Amino acid sequence: MTAMTHVKQPNFFLMKRVILAIALPVVILVFGGMKPFLELAFGWGFISLMLIMFAYKRFQLKKFNAMTVDYFNVNGDGIWSHEYHDTTMKLDTKAGKLYLKEENKQKSYNLSDIKECRYEIIPDTGTRRGNFHSSGFFITVNDVQFPEWQIKFFPARGDLNNQEGVRDMEIQLKRWMQIFDQVIGQE
């Protein structure tokens, strides 16, 4: 697998629901005039508001889906990296280094300092914040100050509250387990 994955960021104003929410009052105004526009303001206003609210929720999900950037040893350069939100991991097999960033801390390690890698997925059960923040890829290293690092992931499709999203995230995490197993196995 030698590819770079990056999903295009969504544009809120180009979403179908937002366009429909804006087009609805414009169509009423153009074809009905000002009187029907004002008479129906409560009805179309409520519908437009609901469309925008649902569009915003979908926009947020698409935005989170698109925040992941993976780089998989393109051109055999020996670099494997994953970035999501405020976490980054980068394996440089040619330099024999692992670079980690989690929130406001960052550090590099020799590959021989890696003790263990594991992942955990806790599906959303209505408390998204707690479950999302407890899920991810965990790297234990030989470091007294920062012995474990958590790298965050998010499904490229779906959400943590549906099977499609949980399965997508599981595949991403298993892919990274495989990469670490191969890289550490070569050391």
Helix (H) or strand (E) holding 184: helix 163-186
User: CATH fold of 69-186, please?
Assistant: PH-domain like (2.30.29)
pTM for the structure as a whole? 0.75
Domain map (residue ranges) of the chain: 12-65, 69-186
- The per-residue pLDDT for range 77-92, each reduced to its tens digit, is 999 999 998 999 999 9
What's the burial of 57, exposed, middle or buried (CB within 10 Å: 0-12/13-18/19+)? exposed
- The per-residue pLDDT for range 16-32, each reduced to its tens digit, is 878 888 888 888 888 88
> How many CA atoms lie less than 13 Å away from 68 in the CB half-sphere?
21
